Structure 1
Amino acid sequence: MAQQKIQLGKLRDFGENFSDTFQFIKQEFKPLITCFLVISGFFILSSSILGGLYQKDAFGFLDQFQPGLNSIPQRGLSETFTIGYFAFLIVTVLNISVMRTVVAVYMKLYDETGESPSIQEVWNMFARYFFRIFLYSIPQFILIMVGMIFCLAPGIYFMVVLLPYPFMVVNENVSFTESFNRSIYLIKENFWVSLGTYFVAYIIYAVSSSVIGLMIGAIFGVGSYLSTGELSSAAAYVTAVLSLVQYVFYIVFFVSVGLHYYHLVEQKDGTGLTKRLETLGDNSGTNTSIEEQY
């Protein structure tokens, strides 16, 4: 028996968001994870490897630490903010934009067709929107950081408001200014429920990915330390594996964000209801071959 299609564009309460998140991932697991890894895989691996290498360098002082010493070697700013650090930062920003675009595109195609999209379909739409989503993320990131530095509350507000912007770009094809104004419009009177939804979704994502990532990373880390005797190498392996697992589990968090976006749009615009009403007449030719009976 075919699985019932999950209606993305509908009103959801707090609990329904999470139940539909896991139901959607369970139903679409194979095609979704395939598209996610095929398109995002290079950036995920690059970010994880660069993160591991940077951590190996950052924790290099541990290899010089000897029992009985009263102090641990200190690192200067030039040793912390290295070329490797900035390379890791740039690739990570790219990676997050790639992952968000893939999930947003996948959910849009699923919503339009009612079927699991192919890798080619996701890639074609991904190529159309990725660069724009990446560019939009830069000023938004700066705005959030400025808000965090000068006063924590504005930073949190803009983080909540702007989180679903990739779905706006993909579904509504809006400009940067339009996406910003649209975000504020959707979040109006929905800030606290949005903050609660995103917070719980992030906790689920962070805890589940950290537990599994640390378990796997610890195995690689212990094996590395036993073979090399270097604490820095062990830290690098743990960091790289943990990052890899967290990136894959990011699907859980961002699918929840996407479903909340569809909820906000339905609440404000009623597009999902309009779509369902428009499809009522699609079956006008049904049963035309059945003769009238008395």
Structure 2
Amino acid sequence: MDGQKMELRKLRNFSDNINDTFQFIKQEFKPLFGCYIAICGIFIVLSSVIGGIYQRDSMVGFMRIFKGLDYQQRGFGDIFNLNYFLIIFLSTLSYVIMHIVIAVYFKLYAQNGKVSPTIEEVWKATIRFIVPIFFYSIIYGIITIVSVFFCIVPFFYFVVVFAPFTMIYVVEEVSFTDGFSRCFSLIRDNYWEALGIYFVSYLIYSISAGIVGIVVSLFAGGISYLTTKDIAAVTGIVTGTLNIFTHIFYVIFAVSVAFNYYNLVERLDGSGLLERIDSLGSNQDNAIEEQY
């Protein structure tokens, strides 16, 4: 880790969150992405490959109908097949694990002093939370999706409220009910600022992933087309490659959510300020003892 260690529990406004997000990623780049890729990599690749295969098969079916080789319309079972539900499962699992890894990294970062968390430390802590948080995410996801049918406003409200739920369960290690109520307690009186932070950080992540992912995907797709002349295969490669970069750049949004969690906790509890006051008191005591 290069430079002075960043303080997590402190008040941050909109610009502070964005600046600290990129400063933290820059400062912790090697150990952070080492843990991120080592633990999340297999799930990222699997979900991307399955997604690419599904898009390839979909393109094959479309091309057969377009060329008049297949006059049968695609039915429910052709669209919502095993690959479709496998994509949903792997995508959900990969995003859950990505959030857990980031949350665990921040938790260990606060505990380890000047030493950055290692892959082994992050993995041991991560496996404890995968199963419960995976099922918690399904519950939160259902609540958020159902809210769409009532009005679009509740949807955006729940998206913001539930954004830091992984940080809450990992850092505070609370029960499901306590974590659920904690989500609403933290966001109280801070909704609009949190919405702005999440929107901008998600926009930055999307643009970054889109630019890099599209360039690499078109390059890979171009090579594939020149060698195979198979449009369906090219579609699968482009989709899979783009999905990989989308998952990798997601760390920008996840880190921003983590920093805002600590900001919300500080606003509600003031624990960071109390810790600084205690440390000042202990330093003064040590200085007096040294005089004698």
Q: Does 1:41 align with 2:41?
A: yes
Partner of 1:157: 157
Shift in CA distance, 150/232, structure 1 to aligned 2, threshold 3 Å: farther
Deviation at 1:204? 0.2
**Aligned partner letter, 1:102:** V
Alignment partners' CA distance in 2, 1:10 and 1:185: 17
> Where does 1:5-154 land on structure 2 (aligned, <5 Å)?
5-64=5-64, 74-114=73-113, 115-154=115-154
CA distances 1:32-77 after superposition (whole Å, capped 9, x unpaired): 000011111111111111111111111113543668x8x9985332
Q: Distance in 1 between matches of 2:6 and 2:279?
A: 16
Structure 2 vs 1, CA of residues 78 and 184 (structure 1 numbering), >3 Å: closer, same or farther? Answer: same
Q: Bigger CA drift: 274-283 or 220-229? A: 274-283
Higher mean displacement: 6-15 or 223-232: 223-232
Distance in 1, Cα, partners of 2:243 & 2:184: 32
Gaps of 5+ in 2: none
Measured in 2, the distance between the counterparts of 1:151 and 1:72 equals 40
CA distance in structure 2 between the aligned counterparts of 1:218 and 1:227, rounded to whole angstroms: 14
SS of the aligned residue for 2:127 comes to helix
| Residues 113 and 280 of structure 1: CA distance in aligned 2, closer, same or farther (over 3 Å) | farther
> 2: CA distance between counterparts of 1:231 and 1:75?
19
RMSD: 2.2
Task: Give the paired residue count.
Answer: 289
SS in 2 for 1:64: helix
Paired residue type of 2:151: C
TM-score, structure 2 normalization: 0.93
1:280 to partner: Cα distance? 2.5
Change (3 A) 1:80 1:268: same
Deviation at 1:285, TM superposition (A): 4.5
**Sequence identity, in percent?**
42
- Give the direction of change, closer, same or farther, for the CA distance of 1:61–1:188 in structure 2 (3 Å limit): same
Report SS of the residue matched to 2:128: helix
Q: 1:273 to 1:226 in 2, by over 3 A?
A: same
Q: 1:172 to 1:207 in 2, by over 3 A?
A: same
TM-score normalised over the length of structure 1: 0.92
The residue type equivalent to 1:202 in the other structure is Y
Alpha-carbon separation, structure 2, partners of 1:25 and 1:73 = 51
Alignment map for 1:216-227 (pairs within 5 Å) = 216-227=216-227
Contact 1:62 1:232 in 2 (8 A): no
Contact 1:63–1:231, Cα closer than 8 Å, also in 2: no
